[in-house]
Amino acid sequence: MGAIQAIRGTRDILPEEVGYWQQIETVARQILQKAVYQEIRTPIFEQTDLFERGIGEATDVVGKEMYTFLDRGERSLTLRPEGTAGVVRSYIEQSLYAQGGVQRLWYTGPMFRYERPQAGRQRQFHQLGVEVLGARDPRADVEVINLATNILQALGLKNLELSLNSVGDSEDRENYKQALVDYLTPYQAELDPDSQERLNRNPMRILDSKDKRTQEITADAPRILDYLGTDSQRHFELVQQLLTDLDITYQINPRLVRGLDYYTHTAFEIQSQDLGAQTAVCGGGRYDKLVSELGGPDTPAVGWAIGMERLILLLQQMQAAPNPAIDFYLVSRGEKAEPQALILAEKMRSAGFTVDLDLSGSGFAKQFKRADKSGSVACLVLGDAEAENQTVKLKWMASKEQLAIAQSELLNSTDKLRQQIDALVKI
């Protein structure tokens, strides 16, 4: 019988890569906490109706990409294909709106879509996202864009471009969709098969087509910006002005419509030219009608999601995976020494140090080789002689300086040791 392998479109995140994930989460958490965003954790699967009503049955996500199944109670459930709908469901069900004011929320976790796997795109993928619920003010749009920019820049990313558009309100969009259908209908036979299917079902998605001929046809199509009403135009102008005030550069892209039906007014993407074909690393926009469409009160909202896998591809191009700093590598050998080493390791960890205890049972020579490769600042050596005398050898890895010290003295001089280690790490 052959070995069981991971399902196509899923992948293991191995220890040598986990450092990137932790780096992103740490940076994002620090920046979002400063802006008083609170973390929310929602279920991985929800009622299918949530996504059909929230995302839109005419979208590719709902029509082609969702992982939907019946549970033992014959209920239709779906693995979440994105994070916003679940957050909104929780906002309504838990009556977060009753707290008054604006709810600033963020989340991270796995999402699921049946797509063709490729670099930076898996069937199980991960997103980091924010949602601001209860704010109609254009400042909310710009705040979330600014936070995304700050996170990406704090991670060291360069060559980023912000694309901006407005898809207006529902009336603006209906007027535009009709104009778009009127323009595209004479070209229907020349459109790619997906676009032909979308013509009467979801015509704005045709603007996202990667087919060369379809792109040629839509190059002269009507622009959504020409169909914005007075309020929509005013909102979009204020967003642009506020971005300029914050020195955030952007490009207007009238073809940017995003792939989900719930968007209203502002739509945006942050793209990296270092990613190849899949350039978008962050996307989002405003969704003022989603809460009410899912049974909640009239609540304006705006948010975004960052694709973690694509972001990690960029970080891997820039730097090696961050490795956790190891203060001490503890080597031991002998009947008395080995159990005593376990106790010493625990006491040092309790004192705030990172200690890697060699559990191999190998001879000292092999353990010393692993200590050299560990990247630790210092090595603690405990043999039966040291165990008998309640001492330990302390070896500084960089200078090779070594001294014998009483274990009690070692544990009583932790503040000094911490200063020495921090100084060596900075070097």
Q: Are 381 and 270 found together in one domain?
A: no
Split into its structural domains, the chain has a count of 2
Domain boundary among 318, 347, 373: 318
In-domain check, residue 312: yes
pLDDT at position 415 over 80: yes
Q: Are 108 and 22 found together in one domain?
A: yes
pLDDT of residue 148: 97
> For residue 204, what pLDDT band results from cuts at 50, 70 and 90?
confident
Q: Are 127 and 96 found together in one domain?
A: yes
pLDDT of residue 154: 95
In-domain check, residue 206: no
Copy the structure tokens of residue 173. 């969009």
- CA 323, 380, 405, 341 dihedral sign is positive
In-domain check, residue 60: yes
Q: Are 295 and 339 found together in one domain?
A: no
Q: What is the pLDDT of residues 31-67, one digit of tens each?
A: 999 999 999 999 999 999 999 998 887 777 888 899 9
pLDDT at position 151 over 60: yes
Domain CATH number, residue 71: 3.30.930.10
pLDDT of residue 277: 58
In-domain check, residue 164: yes
Domain CATH number, residue 349: 3.40.50.800
Domain boundary among 318, 353, 368: 318
Whole-number average pLDDT of the chain:
92
What is the pTM for the complete model shown? Answer: 0.88
9-28 exposure pattern, b = at least 16 Cβ within 10 A, e = fewer: beeeeeeeeebbbebbeebb
pLDDT of residue 150: 96
Q: Are 128 and 266 found together in one domain?
A: yes
Average pLDDT over residues 286-315: 95
Q: Are 260 and 352 found together in one domain?
A: no
In-domain check, residue 70: yes
Beta pairing class for 328-333 and 378-383: parallel
Rounded to whole angstroms, the Cα distance separating 406 from 410 reads: 6
The enclosing H or E element of 283 equals strand 280-286
Q: Are 300 and 341 found together in one domain?
A: no
Q: What is the pLDDT of residues 347-371, one digit of tens each?
A: 999 999 999 999 999 999 999 999 9
Q: Are 237 and 310 found together in one domain?
A: yes
Judging by beta carbons within 10 Å of its beta carbon (0-12, 13-18, 19+), is residue 72 exposed, middle or buried? exposed
Q: Are 39 and 129 found together in one domain?
A: yes
Q: Are 306 and 347 found together in one domain?
A: no
Q: Which domain holds residue 48?
A: 15-169+229-318
Q: Are 291 and 409 found together in one domain?
A: no
Average pLDDT over residues 243-260: 88
In-domain check, residue 221: no
Which of 397, 327, 341, 334 has the alpha carbon at shortest distance from 368? Answer: 397
pLDDT of residue 102: 96
pLDDT of residue 121: 82
Q: What is the pLDDT of residues 266-296, one digit of tens each?
A: 999 999 877 665 578 999 999 999 999 999 9
Domain boundary among 299, 318, 337: 318
Q: What is the pLDDT of residues 170-192, one digit of tens each?
A: 899 889 889 989 998 988 888 88
Rounded to whole angstroms, the Cα distance separating 38 from 104 reads: 6
In-domain check, residue 252: yes
Q: What is the pLDDT of residues 114-132, one digit of tens each?
A: 988 887 789 999 999 999 9
Q: Are 336 and 300 found together in one domain?
A: no
pLDDT at position 77 over 70: yes
pLDDT of residue 426: 67
Average pLDDT over residues 87-101: 95
> For residue 137, what pLDDT band results from cuts at 50, 70 and 90?
very high
Amino acid at 275: L
In-domain check, residue 194: no
Percent of the chain exceeding pLDDT 90 equals 72
Q: Which residue has the higher pLDDT, 413 or 40?
A: 40
